[in-house]
């Protein structure tokens, strides 16, 4: 399934979303987009009312988000949106830097022409001059999702989906006002060419570079903010 704004349709072959899945997607998106900021309290009754869903799917979603480190439970205090500590950045990106190229290498072997046509159609949307960085980020995510799906490994897909969402949240926290997403999306053109040719080595290298570029941008902005004078 696609969790971005450019499309909300299910990927081919996926099952319709359960109420718990709907709640999970909605809540995770609010966390990623900073509608629920780090440290915000999450109250089940308020979430039920705002999402129009019952207690059970909300609880299912919150438990899943807790497992994925988007939500933190503090005994006798409640449930809060998790922060992302600076020291966790390296762990997030070193994991993506290993798993994303591996998934891309599998995709080069297992992917179908129809999937690469889908990716090409997605990239054609980047030519729309009316797209803002938020929409460009959604297109970037869509390209990643196609690759994860083409890898044919649902465990990789689920893990990378969660890791990308954490990276997405970092973009909203640190880069949305300073970074240009167009270059990141453009890198997928070369990735697509390597996927179509079945060149696993090249696509793995390109994807690793793509992930590391995002990591570098995040680190530079975080470092600048940490070292900036208090009066700035």
CA torsion, ordered 156, 161, 162, 163, to nearest 10 deg:
80
**Domain interval for residue 51:** 19-81
**Residue 61 Cα to chain centre, angstroms:** 17
Residue with tokens 């020291």: 87
Q: Residue 76: give its domain's CATH number.
A: 1.10.10.10
The tally of domains found in the chain comes to: 2
| Domain termination residue (choose one: 52, 81, 110) | 81
pLDDT digits (tens, 9 = 90+) for 4-36: 433 333 444 445 578 999 999 999 999 999 999
pLDDT on residue 14: 46
Q: Residue 223: give its domain's CATH number.
A: 1.20.120.530
Clarify whether residues 171 and 209 are in a common domain: yes
Flag whether 152 is in a domain.
yes
pLDDT digits (tens, 9 = 90+) for 45-78: 999 999 999 999 999 999 999 999 999 988 888 8
Flag whether 169 is in a domain.
yes
């Amino acid at each position: 399934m696609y969790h971005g704004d450019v499309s909300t349709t299910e990927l081919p072959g996926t099952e319709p979303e359960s109420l718990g899945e709907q709640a999970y997607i909605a809540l995770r998106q609010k966390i990623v987009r900073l509608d629920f900021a780090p440290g915000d309290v999450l109250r089940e009754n308020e979430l039920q009312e705002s999402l129009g869903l019952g207690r059970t799917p909300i609880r299912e979603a919150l438990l899943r988000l807790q497992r994925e480190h988007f939500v933190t439970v503090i005994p006798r205090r409640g449930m809060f949106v998790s922060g992302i500590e600076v020291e966790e950045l390296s762990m997030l990106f070193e994991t993506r830097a290993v798993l994303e190229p591996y998934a891309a290498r599998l995709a080069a072997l297992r992917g179908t022409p129809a999937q690469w046509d889908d990716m090409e159609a997605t990239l054609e949307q980047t030519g729309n001059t009316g797209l803002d960085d938020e929409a460009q980020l959604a297109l970037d995510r869509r390209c990643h999702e196609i690759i994860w799906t083409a890898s044919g490994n649902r465990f990789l897909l689920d893990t990378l989906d969660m890791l990308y969402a954490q990276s997405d949240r970092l973009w909203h926290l640190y880069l949305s006002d300073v970074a240009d997403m167009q270059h990141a999306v453009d890198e997928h053109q070369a990735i697509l060419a390597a996927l179509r040719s079945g060149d696993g080595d090249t696509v793995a290298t390109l994807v690793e570079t793509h992930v590391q570029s995002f990591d570098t941008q995040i680190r530079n902005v975080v470092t600048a903010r940490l070292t900036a004078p208090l009066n700035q």
